[in-house]
Amino acid sequence: MSKLILVRHGQSEWNLANRFTGWWDVDLTEKGETEARQAGELMLAKGVLPTLAFTSVQKRAIKTLNLALEACGRLWIPVTRDWHLNERHYGGLTGLNKQETRDKHGDEQVHIWRRSFDIPPPELEQGSEFDLSDDPRYAGIDVPRTESLKLTIERVLPYWEEAILPQLGKGETVIISAHGNSLRALVKHLSNISDDEITGLEIPTGQPIIYEFDGTQVTGERYYLKDS
């Protein structure tokens, strides 16, 4: 038996400011750092100790992973950082205050952009201050201009199948420190959640979610580590 630990990064500066973040690289707040440490302390207390780690190339997820691993005495385990685990790209909404966007475009339109399964926000303009096409971490990558949840799933799942699932098949205890939508993609797949239902699923910050595996097959339903 092996375990998969999913952790959404702790509160970020733009979570606190109520801004659309997506691929833009923002730091954790003090509260976010505390959430990350508490996740690691919980893993230590419950004896669920990762042997391999995966995260995105965004600092809020990387720092969450590092703080959690330090708290459970596992900073030494191998870590893979990959852009396929990045947050969903919010396109032209990146950087905008969510309430101001609702005031401008209306609640219904913003709800569609945020929560529909396959309708992406407007594309980010080339040359925008939030354009990451020249960021060295994405060298050689066709950086998206916008993404729906469906498009996010289409990049997350192949990476899951190729890089992460085989490690669970070997009996590793794997932690993934990532983002609300990249983790939503995995939960949708692993828990067989419909397109309609997944858009309403919230992934809380800093709360480890556990899946148990027998080889490469999920056994049972996911649960929060704090409830075990």
Active-site residue, 9 included: yes
- Assess contact for 173 and 2: CB atoms under 8 A: yes
Catalytic residue among 35, 84, 87, 147: 87
Active-site residue, 105 included: no
Catalytic residue among 9, 84, 89, 179: 9
Backbone φ/ψ region at 140: left (φ over 0), alpha (ψ -120 to 50), beta: left
Residues assigned a catalytic role: 9, 87
